[in-house]
Amino acid sequence: MRFHAEPIEFERQPGSGAPVWRGRAADAEDWLRFAISVHRHEGRLCALWGSDERAHGAGFRVHAVFALAEGWQYLTLDLPADNPVYPDLSGIFAAANRMQRATFDLVGIRHDGEDQRPWLRHGGWPADWFPLRHDAGDPPPWENQPTDYDFVRVGGEGAHEIPVGPIHAGIIEPGHFRFTVVGERVLRLEQRLGYQHKGIECRLAGADFAVGAKLVGRVSGDSTCAFAWAYADAIEAACAVTPPPRALAIRALLLERERIANHLGDLGALGNDAALAFGLSQFFRLKEDWVRLNAEVFGHRFLMDTIVPGGVAVDVDAAKIAALVAQCDEIGRAVKELQRIYDAHSGLQDRFLTTGPIDTALAQELSLSGMAARATGMLLDARCHRHGYEPPPPWNKLAVRPATAETGDVAARAAVRFAEIYESLRLIRLLGADLPDGETRCTVSPVPGAAGVGIVEGWRGEVIVGVQLGPDGRIARCHPHDPSWQAWPALEHAVLRDIVPDFPLINKSFNLSYSGQDI
């Protein structure tokens, strides 16, 4: 299959996951032409990473996942071992910038663009040592010292900088925000992330499927179901396995419970950031009830290790389903009452409305996905039917209704969260009422040398996992991609029309993952 008359032949990957077509660019010109074609057709760049193929007698390889109306295109380009350079995509897709810089830090393959600043390397290892190369060995002796970072400077009368972080109040992970302001008005925000690089991709090399599931499920703890499902989809696509229908339904049930838990917590935190502590206490009471039932029914408050390659590691009987459905009714009533209070609270609405706006054009330009994109009016949800797109099972039988808003501000992101809670409660009821009988897991036999990509609509947006198996059938390369990669730059734009004290509220309305990109 070809897209837009471009010469690259694509083939749809097997498995039960989201529709993904795999292709290989013959050369750098094909790579660049296809990226331009995707952009011209209002497509997005969803992920980009690199791999070292020299152990198999080849060179290096750069991987990218694009999105078009029909689904996703997984494209690779082989690079020579002695000069692994590929065309810069950041002039076409702004989202490529940080991903390309991180790829060089980890694998040592370089884009030919201008911005060559490090992204994940903060002085923790030498500039000429690349941890994801197969012959990297143990880290060399190296004194870990903070390095300078070349922030873009903004001049002019009255302009000054306010540095925030990387150490923050509370227990959130580190991130640095460099504000340039005049008075209180923000002229520019530039972020510096990657302070807590965990080395997960390095740890995944050589792992078996079970270890891989545990590691990927911990990339970002608030999205453990989305990452575990995307990883399972990637493994199942590589090994041409389709999980039982009951397993897919339980995966969906788990994912929707994860979505609701996060929205409950964030709606409470948004109220707190707008001086409505009552909202924080009430929503966190609901969230606590929600995760306690998770622990009772599925054995873990955050549902970790419940989704595995081949199916699920948990099951539910009639009594558990009844408990889950009954809680949906209780939570639904409570959230409606809290939404009535939020909507009627003039002080809260004054803080929410017109604060931190982004528009559809910017969301498209930044390849944004998920809740923040839908708050600008984009009908973008991997679970939903749209023209030319058929969602994977079990979503194709559930008629999922996408939640959208128009204004793209804090109020819109809050409104989408409320709407998604109601829709997820409906989906859980539907899944519980018609849960298929049968097995919950099937055997997945490794296929040496195979590859797959999994894509799942997590609560924050598209979670993507790419997997390459080695000759021994174990994981040779695995790249987990959090949607925060695309959303962090959107936050830089959202704050520009506001004042510095609004930043915590705007930041919370996105609630992006540090951990998801500090992999």
* pLDDT tens track for 409-451: 999 999 999 999 999 999 999 999 999 999 999 999 999 999 9
Once rounded to an integer, what is the mean pLDDT over residues 257-276?
A: 97
Q: Is the pLDDT of residue 490 over 80?
A: yes
* CA of residue 254 relative to chain centroid, distance: 17
Question: Under 8 Å CB-to-CB from 42, ≥6 apart: which residues?
Answer: 364
Top pLDDT among 195 and 279 is at 279
Would you state the pLDDT for residue 142?
86
Once rounded to an integer, what is the mean pLDDT over residues 501-514?
A: 95
| 8-state DSSP, 20 | E
pLDDT confidence band for 138 (50 / 70 / 90): confident
Q: Which of 88, 106, 99, 95 is nearest to 31 (CA)?
A: 88
Would you state the pLDDT for residue 62?
98
State both tokens at 208: 């078996």
pLDDT confidence band for 153 (50 / 70 / 90): confident
Q: Helix (H, G, I), strand (E, B), or coil: what is residue 115?
A: coil
Average pLDDT, the chain: 95
State both tokens at 19: 């529709």
Number of Cβ atoms within 10 Å of the Cβ of 277: 11
Once rounded to an integer, what is the mean pLDDT over residues 227-239?
A: 98
pLDDT confidence band for 33 (50 / 70 / 90): very high
CB 113 within 8 A of CB 88: yes
Once rounded to an integer, what is the mean pLDDT over residues 29-34?
A: 96
Would you state the pLDDT for residue 396?
96
Would you state the pLDDT for residue 400?
97
pLDDT confidence band for 152 (50 / 70 / 90): confident
Once rounded to an integer, what is the mean pLDDT over residues 43-63?
A: 96
Rg for the chain (alpha carbons), in Å?
Answer: 22
Pairing of strands 462-469, 307-308: unpaired
Q: Helix (H, G, I), strand (E, B), or coil: what is residue 228?
A: helix
Once rounded to an integer, what is the mean pLDDT over residues 66-81?
A: 97
State both tokens at 294: 């998770």
Of the given ranges (112-116, 121-125, 247-251, 349-353), which has the lowest mean pLDDT? 121-125
Question: Under 8 Å CB-to-CB from 62, ≥6 apart: which residues?
Answer: 31, 48, 49, 50, 76, 77, 79, 86, 103, 109
Q: Is the pLDDT of residue 249 over 90?
A: yes
* CA of residue 452 relative to chain centroid, distance: 17
Distance (Å, whole) CA 339 – CA 337: 5
Give me the percent of the chain exceeding a pLDDT of 90.
87
Would you state the pLDDT for residue 387?
87
pLDDT confidence band for 143 (50 / 70 / 90): confident
Q: Helix (H, G, I), strand (E, B), or coil: what is residue 213?
A: helix
pLDDT confidence band for 149 (50 / 70 / 90): confident
Would you state the pLDDT for residue 132?
96
pLDDT confidence band for 43 (50 / 70 / 90): very high
* pLDDT tens track for 292-316: 999 999 999 999 999 999 999 999 9
Of the given ranges (185-199, 245-259, 273-287, 319-333), which has the lowest mean pLDDT? 185-199
Q: Helix (H, G, I), strand (E, B), or coil: what is residue 73?
A: strand
Would you state the pLDDT for residue 467?
98
* pLDDT tens track for 167-202: 887 778 889 999 999 988 899 999 999 988 889 999
pLDDT confidence band for 257 (50 / 70 / 90): very high
Would you state the pLDDT for residue 104?
97
Top pLDDT among 6 and 417 is at 417
Would you state the pLDDT for residue 157?
84
